[in-house]
């Protein structure tokens, strides 16, 4: 495949923060070397991972870490969103205190977005902040959650309610781990990837459509190109707006309705599947407002099917979804900041989306 962006390093520079590298690799074999470059030698590192990722990759990562930092601890929690809580973070604090971690030591998140978010939050708060390293292992985490320093946990069923901005010291991406992801988890990452294309880069969206087969087969060259592309897009956005005062909110395309469905479905659907449904709803409103034409709307909707993502849901009411969107964080003085499309590849923040528009869009997604 053309445009292979293998073995790339992308440096993220956010104002007032130390720059950090996103290293794209095909294995873990350069990890010890990258850790040495960071100056980790002789420091303690606690590898935080979940019960699914640990049997797959912990031994290999620990071996690399110990080449640089022999005093490596591990903390393993039960895989899944239900672990993204203050209780898990507290357990991790206990491990760190018992092992005597000080302000110069490191946490290392090995896993998906749940691992990255909760490890990052622990790193942001332990001793008022220690450094942390991201080794994202889901497609979603590699293209989105590991970059940009948003960390946090859920609280009382409210997603990401407690959190902090805390930038990683390094993001080490081993593309080969995408091979062991379940089809649902891979599709979930594609939900976020299509979001990038639709909101920021129409050419990239077209590339994804043209390379659907290679993507579905998880061809290394396709993975290298698309993960690098998303990392570059995310780098560009977080450098411009590190604390989400402006354009970074455009990354929430599909998330207002997506988060509401995710919550009402009790997290039984993946995050990216919910975002994909929210994307179709937002595209529908954009079509109804005359900014997309009918063909563009149906292409956006049907692309979900091509990438194993849903275009409908059942069991929950449209009215409940609208009610839940009101408790979402994406509010501005009581108004929802809803992301719509001016055209494919160009998103904007709308504060005038009515309940009626949302209701119609959500009803269009209902399968029952």
Ligand X SMILES: NC(=O)c1ccc[n+]([C@@H]2O[C@H](COP(=O)([O-])OP(=O)(O)OC[C@H]3O[C@@H](n4cnc5c(N)ncnc54)[C@H](O)[C@@H]3O)[C@@H](O)[C@H]2O)c1
Closest among 28, 7, 11, 29 to 20, alpha carbons compared: 11
Our finding on whether 112 is near ligand X (CB under 6 A) is yes
Residue 269 CB, shortest distance to ligand X, in Å, is 11
Of 44 and 150, nearer to ligand X (C-beta) is: 150
Which three-class secondary structure state does DSSP give residue 223? helix
> Rounded to whole angstroms, how far apart are CA atoms 21 and 239?
13
Paired sense of beta strands 170-174 and 346-350, if any:
unpaired
Residue 352 CB, shortest distance to ligand X, in Å, is 26
CB burial string 288-299: b at 16+ within 10 A, e below: eeebbeeebbee
Place of tokens 């579905």: 216
Transcribe 262-290 into DSSP letters. HHHTTT-S-HHHHHHHHHHHHHHHHHHTT
Of 12, 58, 109, 114, the residue at the interface with ligand X (CB under 6 A) is 114
Our finding on whether 137 is near ligand X (CB under 6 A) is yes
> Rounded to whole angstroms, how far apart are CA atoms 346 and 70?
48
Of 81 and 320, nearer to ligand X (C-beta) is: 81
Alpha-carbon distance values, 32 to 61, 64, 123 (Å): 9, 5, 21
Our finding on whether 144 is near ligand X (CB under 6 A) is yes
Our finding on whether 230 is near ligand X (CB under 6 A) is no
Site for ligand X in 115-134 (CB under 6 A): 115, 117
Residue 27 CB, shortest distance to ligand X, in Å, is 13
Our finding on whether 50 is near ligand X (CB under 6 A) is yes
SS (H, E, C) 153-221: EEECCEEEEEEEECCCCEEEEEHHHHHHCCHHHHHHHHHHHHHHHHHHCHHHHHHHHHCHHHHHCCCHH
Site string for ligand X, 261-300 (x = CB under 6 A): ----------x-----------------------------
Distance of CA 101 to the CA centre of its chain: 28
Of 169, 181, 260, 340, the residue at the interface with ligand X (CB under 6 A) is 181
Distance of CA 196 to the CA centre of its chain: 11
- Name the one range near ligand X by CB under 6 A: 58-66, 91-99, 108-116, 289-297: 108-116
Our finding on whether 357 is near ligand X (CB under 6 A) is no
Of 25, 44, 62, 84, the residue at the interface with ligand X (CB under 6 A) is 84
Distance of CA 26 to the CA centre of its chain: 20
Our finding on whether 85 is near ligand X (CB under 6 A) is no
Residue 329 CB, shortest distance to ligand X, in Å, is 11
Our finding on whether 174 is near ligand X (CB under 6 A) is no
How many residues sit in the footprint of ligand X (CB under 6 A)? 30
Of 43 and 195, nearer to ligand X (C-beta) is: 195
Residue 52 CB, shortest distance to ligand X, in Å, is 3
Name the β-bridge partners of 47.
74, 108
Site string for ligand X, 51-80 (x = CB under 6 A): -xx--x----------------------xx
**Interacting residues with ligand X (CB under 6 A):** 50, 52-53, 56, 79-81, 84, 111-115, 117, 137-138, 140-141, 144-145, 148, 150, 159-160, 177, 180-181, 185, 188, 271
């Amino acid at each position: 495949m053309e445009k292979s962006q293998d073995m790339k390093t992308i440096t993220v520079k956010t104002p007032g923060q130390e720059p950090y590298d996103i290293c794209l690799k095909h294995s873990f074999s350069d990890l010890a070397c990258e850790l040495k470059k960071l100056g980790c030698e002789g420091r303690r590192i606690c590898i935080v991972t979940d019960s699914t990722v640990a049997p797959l990759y912990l031994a290999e990562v620990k071996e690399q870490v110990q080449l640089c930092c022999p005093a490596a601890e591990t903390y393993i929690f039960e895989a899944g969103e239900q672990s993204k809580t203050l209780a898990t973070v507290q357990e991790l604090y206990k491990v760190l205190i018992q092992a005597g971690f000080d302000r110069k030591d490191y946490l290392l998140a090995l896993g998906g977005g749940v691992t990255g978010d909760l490890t990052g939050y622990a790193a942001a708060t332990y001793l008022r902040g220690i450094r942390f390293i991201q080794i994202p292992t889901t497609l979603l985490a590699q293209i989105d959650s590991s970059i940009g320093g948003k960390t946090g946990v859920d609280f009382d069923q409210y997603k990401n309610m407690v959190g902090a901005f805390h930038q990683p010291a390094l993001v080490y991406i081993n593309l080969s781990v995408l091979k062991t992801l379940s089809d649902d988890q891979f599709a979930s990452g594609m939900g976020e990837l299509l979001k990038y294309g639709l909101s920021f880069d129409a050419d990239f969206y077209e590339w994804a459509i043209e390379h659907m087969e290679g993507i579905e087969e998880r061809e290394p060259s396709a993975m290298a190109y698309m993960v690098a592309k998303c990392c570059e897009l995310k780098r560009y956005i977080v450098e411009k707006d590190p604390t989400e005062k402006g354009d970074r909110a455009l990354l929430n395309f599909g998330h207002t309705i997506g988060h509401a469905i995710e919550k009402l479905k009790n997290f039984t659907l993946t995050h990216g599947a919910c975002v994909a449904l929210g994307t179709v709803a937002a595209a529908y409103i954009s079509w109804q407002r005359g900014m997309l034409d009918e063909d563009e709307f149906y292409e956006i909707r049907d692309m979900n099917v091509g990438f194993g993502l849903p275009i409908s849901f059942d069991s929950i009411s449209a009215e409940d979804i609208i009610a839940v969107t009101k408790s979402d964080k994406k509010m501005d003085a009581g108004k929802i900041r809803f992301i719509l499309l001016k055209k494919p590849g160009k998103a904007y923040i709308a504060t005038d989306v009515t309940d009626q528009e949302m209701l119609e869009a959500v009803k269009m997604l209902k399968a029952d």
